[in-house]
Amino acid sequence: MADGNSNREGLLSKTEKDILYYEDCPGCRIDHRKETNLGAPYKELVYIWIVALCAGLPISSLYPYLYFLVRDFNVAKRAEDIGYYAGCVGSAYMLGRGLTAVLWGALADRYGRKPIILFCCTTMIIFTTLFGLSTNFWMAVSMRLLLGAFSGIFGPVQAYATEVCRKEHQTLALSFTSSAWAIGMIIGPAIGGFLAQPAEKYPNVFTKDSIFARFPYFLPCLCISIWTTAATIACLWLPETLHKHKTTNEESHGTGITEKTQENDETGSTESESLYRNRPLMSCIIVYCVFSLHNMAYDEIFSLWAVSPRKFGGLNYTTDNVGEVLSVTGLGLFLFQLALFPKLERTLGPLMVARVSAALSIVVLGSYPFIAKLSGASLSLLINIASLLKSILSTSIFTGFVILQNTTVSQHQRGAANGISSTAMSLFKVFGPAGGGAIFSLGQKRMNASFLPGTDLVFFILNLILVIGLIMTFKPFLVLPRWLK
């Protein structure tokens, strides 16, 4: 074939690298395209943005109505106990994901990124829909557990983003994936806030005899399932990036060996080295997990705090009010991640961005108890600003550590490395909603305490976790790859 020969000649002209081209290998075709096309692959980035958004939407969409969902199940004997049961529902997703993330990463390294993404998108459609049809507390917990167990999307998507781009565009690609995930974590609650209990909010559209009246929390789940269906269809046009060929002894200087050696020289790892012995990788994952624990607890607490009564230190917001705040936050975050974050990362580096963002997050979060004392337009203005700043800073931390993690391993280990990261992060996040819900309930029970009463205790503990994470970004806790030292 003429095209195949020209491609082969184009790659083999790099005699100093001694690279062999395999016509039937999707990874080789992507490598050739990166060599001949110096621009960013925006079409593929848009596709993976759509897919990555699916990873965030189901996690957080239930937060605005979780309080009312648990209340309607009549499982809590007292109003003060609702936060505890809400935390159990929220944690079930992360527990399921923690049990299977390494498996999905390993399968993505063996069979390719695309088939795993397609399969997991399909299962997310099923279990998200079934969660919206839950009739009792245990069914809701079970569906969330299964949804988490089959949501192995984000690890393969992160690996894909770094492989489909040239090195100079990898920060932009990871900004796409992390911003999509973060926006999903924000738009998800907006969807839940606006669309939960539609028969009560929009009686002219949804009658009392409709399925949405019988299952008042089904509509937001259905909308997310429709979006995930669109993402699944979009995945069909994604080119595979994983190298799929066998290297013979005569071809030992080809792509299968030479490229791994070059990557290993940059990352400081070896092909035979266990990922668990890769100190830069594992230290990044540990620090990342601390911030993930904080973010998950914050996401749970923010919605509970916003809808809780004033007598408990909350804002007494409706689910619509929460949805409005998070919609503004999502739009601002999207613009920041695509327009400003790549420039900021190039100037400061991923680690410094994470450190500065963590320090500023402590200041922003410390203002929340004071904002709760306001009312009217001043409350609306400041809570929107604070929520936007907090999300921008949290996402900057997240993106910085995603970049660090993906530079510590070579391609043939990237899926497994992201799987380990997702597992560790998910296990930490199991305690986020459960711990956040328990701390929130504890704060409501001690409104008259002399030291850290009510929500003061809640936000103090959240800030304490941030301080621990910030300290761990320095030596000896964090070990950097050689190229960053």
**Which pLDDT tens digit goes with each residue over 43-100?**
888 888 888 888 888 887 887 788 788 888 888 777 767 777 887 887 788 888 878 8
State the Rg of the chain over Cα: 23
- For residue 322, name the pLDDT band (cuts at 50, 70, 90): confident
- What's the token pair of residue 445? 């029970």
Confidence class of residue 384 from pLDDT cuts 50, 70 and 90? Answer: very high
Per the CB < 8 A criterion, the answer to whether 329 and 391 are in contact is yes
Which stretches of 215-349 are DSSP H helices? 218-235, 255-267, 279-307, 319-339, 341-348
Percent of the chain with pLDDT over 70: 86
The average confidence (pLDDT) of the chain is: 80
CA separation (Å) from 80 to 92, 167, 455? 21, 51, 13
Burial class (CB in 10 A: 0-12, 13-18, 19+), 99: middle
Q: What pLDDT is stored for residue 119 in this prediction?
A: 93
- Tell how many helices (H) and how many strands (E) occur in the chain: 21, 0
* Rounded Cα distance, 189 and 330, in Å: 10
Domains in the chain, start-ordered, CATH in brackets? 35-244 (1.20.1250.20), 276-484 (1.20.1250.20)
Residue 8's pLDDT band (boundaries 50, 70, 90)? very low
- Measured CA to CA, the distance from residue 403 to residue 284 in angstroms comes to 10
Reported as a single tens digit per residue, the pLDDT across 440-476 is 878 877 887 778 887 888 899 999 999 999 999 998 8
Residue 182's Cβ-side half-sphere holds a number of Cα atoms within 13 Å equal to: 32
CA-to-CA distance for 285 and 273, rounded, in angstroms? 17
Confidence of residue 247 (pLDDT cuts 50, 70, 90): low
| Residue 414 parent element (H or E) | helix 411-445
How far apart, in whole angstroms, are the C-alpha atoms of residue 373 and residue 466?
24
Please return the burial class of 270, using the count of CB atoms within 10 Å of its CB with bins 0-12, 13-18 and 19+. Answer: middle
The token pair that represents 313 in the structure block: 């230190």
Cα 32 from Cα 192, distance rounded (Å): 44
396 versus 36: the higher-pLDDT residue is 396
Residue 243, classed as helix, strand or coil, is coil
Q: Would you place residue 363 in the very low, low, confident or very high pLDDT band (cuts 50, 70, 90)?
A: very high
How many residues in total does the chain contain? Answer: 485
Structure-token pair, residue 179: 């911003």
| Dihedral angle sign, alpha carbons of residues 333, 416, 91, 460 | negative
pLDDT value at residue 462 = 92
Query: Among 215, 223, 235, 228, which residue's Cα sits nearest to residue 124?
Result: 228
